[in-house]
Amino acid sequence: MADVKKLFIKTYGCQMNVYDSERMAEVMGGQGYVVTEVAEEADMVLLNTCHIREKASEKLYSDLGRLRPLKAAKPDLKIGVAGCVAQAEGQEIIRRMPLVDLVVGPQTYHRLPEMVAGRAPAVDTDFPAEDKFDHMPRRKAMRGPTAFLTVQEGCDKFCAFCVVPYTRGAEVSRPPARLLAEARDLVERGVREITLLGQNVNAYHGDDWTLARLVRELARIDGLERIRYTTSHPNDMDDDLIAAHGEEAKLMPYLHLPVQSGSDRILKAMNRKHTAEHYLRLVERIRAARPDIVLSSDFIAAFPGETAADHEATLALIREVGYGSAFCFKYSARPGTPAAEKPELPANIGDARLQELRDLITAQQLATQTAMVGREVGVLYEKAGRRPGQMVGKSDHLHAVHVDDPAGRVGDLVRVRITGSGSNSLAGLRIK
């Protein structure tokens, strides 16, 4: 048997990176590596990076700096950088931080074993023709009742501010037969909820299937109780997917549908190819199909050229939609994107607008949570709570719910009456 070695992975960025980190752990598992939560005891450290905002890559370099003493004490320690900064900066990372042994992009991490063994180049940021998922081991036992499943990667949209089309490449969908097999395999291992992932998940088009068709087929798998998907683009919400929200009981009533801005002028400058009105009518149609759906979004404050009136239009759109939650970001220029050519707004304007967006979203989040009090929802227990006899899980609407249930076990899907709302979670009583 090969020696047991320890692998420490730190994950930044989106859920796709969380998924990729799990798969990298499995690939290295085939080489005798087991995952550790303690960097100091690792034989290999992998930083799975995100390039979406400025701070993310600064953070990588400071984290790498902090690994210096560890590398000095353990010269055999392998340090790898994966993910979107790896894709964007490649060789430059090793130039700037010579302690890094290997750099691997999001599409080539199935080659990690060869890279670690020194049989392949130390920097690999290809977009290979082969599918990395064809070169990976079967998914190992899951730690909980929920799992991610990447169904689509990359993006052809080229929003003016965004690096994803450059770091993740063109839109590629995985074949539906593979996905159904992977989903069945996950369910056999105890998974009850699957979140389908893609940078533009609703643009899914594997073997000419739509995302709606994939969802409907997945819903027929016995033992799979809940289906979610993220992230969606408004322009790819087709009629069948909207209808599925009303027809498929397993498709959960929560949808992350980023709009970015409520100003048509800014949406145009962002190359979003939809207007605020188009988005609002879309929300109406989705709510007609599934009236209790909770919506979330991403917003960018202070995009270049944004006026006070544009910002007001975003606040107005938020008021009109009424979100359950949302991520609000201050615009940050990403080198190589078209928006980075334009002059930025002063930082204090960006900070003030960001704060206004966040305050409004926080108020809406609390209102959405309070409106749940008294209602009956499904809750899938994900872990034990802090108090003895308490379980914590997610509601159908993706709220964290604390339930006093001494008989409860991780993986139970129960009916709960919501009795109270805290700042970031709900409390409830199990009914059955």
Q: Does 353 bind ligand SAH (CB under 6 A)?
A: no
Q: Does 212 bind ligand F3S (CB under 6 A)?
A: no
What's the min distance (Å) between Cβ of 88 and ligand F3S?
A: 8
Query: 191 or 255: whose CB is closer to ligand SF4?
Result: 255
User: Are β-strands 413-421 and 400-404 bridged in parallel, bridged antiparallel, or unpaired?
Assistant: unpaired
Q: Is 328 annotated as a binding residue?
A: no
Query: Binds 158, which of ligand SAH, ligand SF4, ligand F3S, none (CB < 5 to 8 A, cut-off by type)?
Result: ligand SF4
- Total Cβ atoms within 10 A of residue 220: 10
How far apart are alpha carbons 114 and 102 in whole angstroms?
A: 11
Q: Which stretch binds ligand F3S (CB under 6 A): 14-22, 133-141, 321-329, 406-414?
A: 14-22
Q: Is 155 annotated as a binding residue?
A: yes
Among candidates 421, 428, 295, which has minimal Cα distance to 370?
A: 421
Q: Does 421 bind ligand F3S (CB under 6 A)?
A: no
Query: 199 or 395: whose CB is closer to ligand F3S?
Result: 199
Query: Binds 354, which of ligand F3S, ligand SAH, ligand SF4, none (CB < 5 to 8 A, cut-off by type)?
Result: none
Query: Binds 84, which of ligand F3S, ligand SAH, ligand SF4, none (CB < 5 to 8 A, cut-off by type)?
Result: ligand F3S
Task: Count residues near ligand SAH (CB under 6 A).
Answer: 17
Q: Does 158 bind ligand SF4 (CB under 6 A)?
A: yes
Q: Does 301 bind ligand SF4 (CB under 6 A)?
A: no
Query: 209 or 303: whose CB is closer to ligand SF4?
Result: 303
Measure the CA dihedral 364/369/373/375, to 10°.
100
Task: Count residues near ligand F3S (CB under 6 A).
Answer: 14
Please state, in angstroms and as integers, the Cα–Cα distance from residue 130 to each residue in 11, 86, 179, following that order.
25, 20, 17
Using CB under 6 A, which residues numbered 177 to 236 contact ligand SAH?
Answer: 199-200, 231, 233
Measure the CA dihedral 329/330/331/335, to 10°.
-90
Eight-class DSSP state of 292: T
What's the min distance (Å) between Cβ of 100 and ligand SAH?
A: 25
Q: Which stretch binds ligand F3S (CB under 6 A): 49-57, 92-100, 260-268, 379-387?
A: 49-57
Question: Do residues 148 and 15 touch, judged by C-beta distance below 8 A?
Answer: yes
Q: Does 159 bind ligand F3S (CB under 6 A)?
A: no
Order the strands of the 193-197 sheet from edge to edge: 146-150, 193-197, 226-230
What's the min distance (Å) between Cβ of 54 and ligand SAH?
A: 8
Query: Binds 270, which of ligand SF4, ligand F3S, ligand SAH, none (CB < 5 to 8 A, cut-off by type)?
Result: none
Using CB under 6 A, which residues numbered 233 to 252 contact ligand SF4?
Answer: 233
How far apart are alpha carbons 391 and 200 in whole angstroms?
A: 33
Please state, in angstroms and as integers, the Cα–Cα distance from residue 227 to each residue in 203, 222, 230, 238, following that order.
17, 12, 11, 18
Using CB under 6 A, which residues numbered 1 to 60 contact ligand SAH?
Answer: 52-53
Question: Do residues 40 and 6 touch, judged by C-beta distance below 8 A?
Answer: no
Among candidates 430, 422, 380, 376, which has minimal Cα distance to 403?
A: 430
> Residues near 165 by Cβ (< 8 Å), separated by ≥ 6?
154, 155, 156, 157, 158
Q: Does 67 bind ligand F3S (CB under 6 A)?
A: no
How far apart are alpha carbons 306 and 304 in whole angstroms?
A: 6
Per-position DSSP letters for 224-255, written without gaps between them = --EEEEE---GGG--HHHHHHHHH-TTB-SEE
How far apart are alpha carbons 372 and 421 in whole angstroms?
A: 8
Which pair of tokens denotes residue 407?
A: 């008989």
Q: Does 164 bind ligand SAH (CB under 6 A)?
A: yes
Q: Does 52 bind ligand F3S (CB under 6 A)?
A: yes
For the chain, the first-to-last Cα distance in angstroms comes to 48
Query: 164 or 345: whose CB is closer to ligand SF4?
Result: 164
Annotated binding site for [4Fe-4S] cluster: 14, 50, 84, 155, 159, 162
Site of interaction with ligand SF4 (CB under 6 A): 155, 157-159, 162, 164-165, 199-200, 233
Site of interaction with ligand SAH (CB under 6 A): 52-53, 161-162, 164, 199-200, 231, 233, 258, 260, 298, 300, 329, 331-332, 334
Annotated binding site: 14, 50, 84, 155, 159, 162
